[in-house]
Amino acid sequence: MHHSTAALDHMLANSTVGPAQYADGPSRLHRAALLEQYKLYVEMADRVSARRGVANAFFLTINTGATAAVNVAVGLGAHHASAWAIGSLTCALLIQCFLWAATIHAYRRLSDVKWRVVGALERLLPVRAWSDAERGLLSSSWGSRYLTLTRLEELVPVCFALLYGLTCIAALIL
């Protein structure tokens, strides 16, 4: 759905904060300090997202390597390994998938709190770019069909866990 410029302006505007709040005097200093805190907090929230990306890259590397190693081992005829070896490897990989999912969940909760604080700070600023405008555009454009990146991100360790479970079953049956 395409929004008009007027609709976007309405989502951005904060009618409770205007030029009068930025006039000379103590209020101006307060607003300057608020803006600096806002910028710092947005940067901190963005850093959490960056750390989350690094953690996901780490787990994805482990899982990609494990998947490749299992495929190479099966290709070399090692699929007749003992049930204990297959079970142990699968358990280790499943535990690692659980830890990955837990890490994603922890980062999601931390990010959610940080971005809620950003939204609260935006209510004190002239525009609400993230809290109302961006979120409003996403929800009105996608509605209930909008699947957040975090929700997609949470599916990755589940897919690897399913792959490991199926590989274990196939290895034990064949």
DSSP string spanning 67-117? Answer: HHHHHHHHHTTGGG--HHHHHHHHHHHHHHHHHHHHHHHHHHHHHHHHHHH
Q: For 123-142, how does the pLDDT look when each residue is reduced to its tens digit (9 = 90+)?
A: 888 877 777 767 777 776 66
Tokens standing for residue 25? 């005097």
**Given a cut of 90, is residue 112 above it in pLDDT?**
no
Q: How many CA atoms lie within 13 A of 25 on its CB side?
A: 6
Give the SS3 label for residue 15: coil
pLDDT score of 156? 95
pLDDT score of 141? 65
Tokens standing for residue 76? 């070399």
**Given a cut of 60, is residue 145 above it in pLDDT?**
no
Q: For 15-71, how does the pLDDT look when each residue is reduced to its tens digit (9 = 90+)?
A: 777 666 666 666 777 788 888 988 998 899 899 989 999 999 999 999 999 888 877
pLDDT score of 72? 74
DSSP 8-state secondary structure symbol assigned to residue 4: P
Reference 51, options 133, 108, 132, 123; nearest CA is: 108
Mean pLDDT, range 103-132, rounded to an integer? 85
**Alpha carbon distance 162, 64 (integer Å):** 14
- Number of helices followed by number of strands (H, E) in the chain: 5, 0
